[in-house]
Amino acid sequence: MVGRPQRDRDRAELALNDDTHPELAGYEPHGESSPFARRRRVIRWVVLVALVALVLPVVLSTVSVSHSTAVAVCNVHARAFDDDAVGVVRFELFGAGAPGWACDAREEGGRTVPLGNLGPFPVMPRIVPGVGV
C-alpha cells in the first residue's frame, strides 16, 4: 500500500502533460497557414466586393438625383434673383452653414452672387408671385 499513492500521483502528472497523449503526438498548430485560412480570406473579399456592388449604385443614383434637383432649384432661385441670371451649384462639405449644395447666381457680366445653401437633398421652393425668395 505504500507504493499506491505514489503511483496515483505519477498518473495524475502524466495526465496533465499533453506530450504523453497519443492523439496529440506530432500535432503542429497551423495558425494562418491552415487549409481554411485561404478560403476565409477569399470569402471575406467576395463579401466585401458584393457589398460594394450593392451599395455603390444606390449612392451614385442618390448623388445624381440630388445634383439634378439642386440645379433645378438653384435655377429657380437665380431667376427670382435676376431674370438673366443662371444658377450654378457645387457641393460643399465644409462650406458656410451645413454641408450641402451651394447655390450661386451668375449674371451676364460674369459676376457670381451667392444665394445660399440648399442642403444635401434640395427640394423645389414654393414661389409666391410678388414675394422675394
pLDDT tens column, 53-95: 999 999 999 999 999 999 999 998 888 888 888 899 999 988 7
**Is residue 2 scored above 60 in pLDDT?**
no
Q: Where are the alpha helices (DSSP H) in the chain?
A: 3-16, 35-81
pLDDT tens column, 23-64: 766 666 665 566 788 888 999 999 999 999 999 999 999 999
User: pTM for the full model?
Assistant: 0.61
All three cell numbers of 13, joined, read: 502528472
The pLDDT score that the predictor gives to residue 16 is 54
CA distances from 30 to 6, 20, 36, 37 (A): 38, 21, 10, 9
Higher pLDDT, 39 or 2: 39
Q: Please provide the average confidence, as pLDDT, over all residues in the chain.
A: 80
Dihedral Cα 10, 12, 15, 17, nearest 10 deg? -70
The pLDDT score that the predictor gives to residue 29 is 65
